[in-house]
Amino acid sequence: MRIAQAAQQMLTSTILPFWMKLRDDTWGGYYGLVDFDLKVDKTAEKGCILNSRILWFFSQAARITGRADLRDHALHAYRFLADHCLDREYGGVYWSLTYDGKPLDTTKHTYNQAFAIYALAAYYRLTGDENALNQARALFALIEEHCTDDEGYLEAFTRDWKPESNEKLSENGVLAAKTMNTLLHVFEGYSGLYEAAPSPEVGQALRRILEIYATKVYSPELHRQLVFFDEHYHSIIDLYSYGHDIESSWLIDWGCHLLGDPDLSARIAAINSDLAGAILRNAYRDHSVINECERGKDNLTRVWWVQAEAVLGFVNEYQKSGRAEFAAAAADVWHYITDHLVDRRPGGEWFWCLDDNAQPNPRRPIVEPWKCPYHNGRMCMELMRRDPDVQV
């Protein structure tokens, strides 16, 4: 079976049914927590990143499949984002809401604004709703006004856009002023907006991010991205994020290609091929991709989103290079996903993560503010779009 056909089956039989049933028709949006035992907490907080990703997911799925029921889910998700997640006083998107749609954590984070842009642009592509496009453009303008300095992109702000410390996107015992992760997803959001409605302003911002990526984030000596930085993009920890590198290797190729600049695309494609090759050498083990390496010590956890991005990253590099080892690795990780990561319990989706023996972690929920249909759903839809010559 071609991997695109398998991906379509995964999308329609597992991922879509799971998320469709989480629709909250009382308070709007989608329920924010499903525990490991598949119990839905209808009063849990609703993360705005989660709801943006759900809007993006249903918008893309409805456009690709033409299904009216998925279009209705996209409309439902859009109304919740527009009516509750957007701050009508100060602009921007909150971090989280109560279950009934009231502001809970009013932090304004650049990462969060970027995902709302990504979602609103996808909804606009589905529906042609000019309100969604205008909202996406307004968020782009807010990021460019409040979240930039002379060197790049700042991250964490109060509700009224005063800078604050960046605990939300810092990990591994450091507090970062700037992060690779946020920069990647600002690029992703801007790319989605540019794809939906190209403009010189967004194109210029994409080029700026690509220059930061190529000269500050990517390390040619280490064949990887640096992860956490001070305000001047000086790295503050020896950390190799395997998942982000393989995700960047295809996602940045995609966004760069939208600009229609062959010389720039060739420059960036070479970086991304270096990242993908390093992941194949360093992180692809036992049919899957391990999580990260901090100060020379590998974390062997297999995280759901890392496996999804690994399939796409390996497929992307196979399509670029024709090297059979990338096609084989993509197929191998696909089988790991279907054999171990997919939750075969009735009503299940994917586990959050597995240990080195492919056993799920019962302390990790199936849905929470970061566990979403964006990575695995996107994997399926991107494979369907590309239909690569990969058998599974």
Q: Encode pLDDT of 256-298 as tens digits.
A: 999 999 999 999 999 999 999 999 999 999 999 999 999 999 9
Instruction: Render pLDDT for 113-133 as a digit per residue (tens, 0 to 9).
Output: 999 999 999 999 999 999 999
pLDDT band at 338 (very low <50, low <70, confident <90, very high): very high
Confidence of residue 58 (pLDDT cuts 50, 70, 90): very high
Binning pLDDT at 50, 70 and 90, where does residue 245 land? very high
* Averaged pLDDT, 233-249: 98
Average pLDDT over all residues of the chain:
98
Q: Note the pLDDT tens digit of each residue in 171-189.
A: 899 999 999 999 999 999 9
Please tell me the predicted confidence (pLDDT) of residue 23.
Answer: 98
Q: How far is residue 299's CA from residue 291's CA, in Å, rounded to a whole number?
A: 6
Q: Tokens 């640096």 sit at which residue?
A: 226
| CATH 1.50.10.10 assigned to 3-386 | yes
> How many Å apart are CA 56 and CA 115, to the nearest integer?
9
Q: Which helix (H) or strand (E) holds 293?
A: strand 292-294
Quickly state the pLDDT bin for 137 (edges 50, 70, 90).
very high
Q: Which amino acid makes up residue 235? A: S
The pLDDT of 367-372, averaged and rounded, is 97
CA distance 382 to 4: 9
* Cα 373 → chain centroid: 10
> What is the per-residue pLDDT across 191-216, written as a single tens digit (0 to 9) for each?
999 999 999 999 999 999 999 999 99
Q: Which of 258, 164, 136 is nearest to 209 (CA)?
A: 258
Specify the pLDDT at position 305.
98
pTM assigned to the model = 0.98
What does the angle CA 68 – CA 71 – CA 75 come to, to the nearest 5 degrees? 140
Per-residue pLDDT at 114: 98
What stretches of the chain show up as alpha helix (H) in DSSP?
Answer: 3-10, 16-20, 48-65, 68-80, 110-127, 130-146, 180-196, 200-212, 242-257, 262-282, 304-321, 324-336, 374-386
**Residue 379 pLDDT:** 98
Nearest CA to 244 out of 212, 270, 210, 278 is that of 278
CA gap 34, 22 in Å, rounded: 9
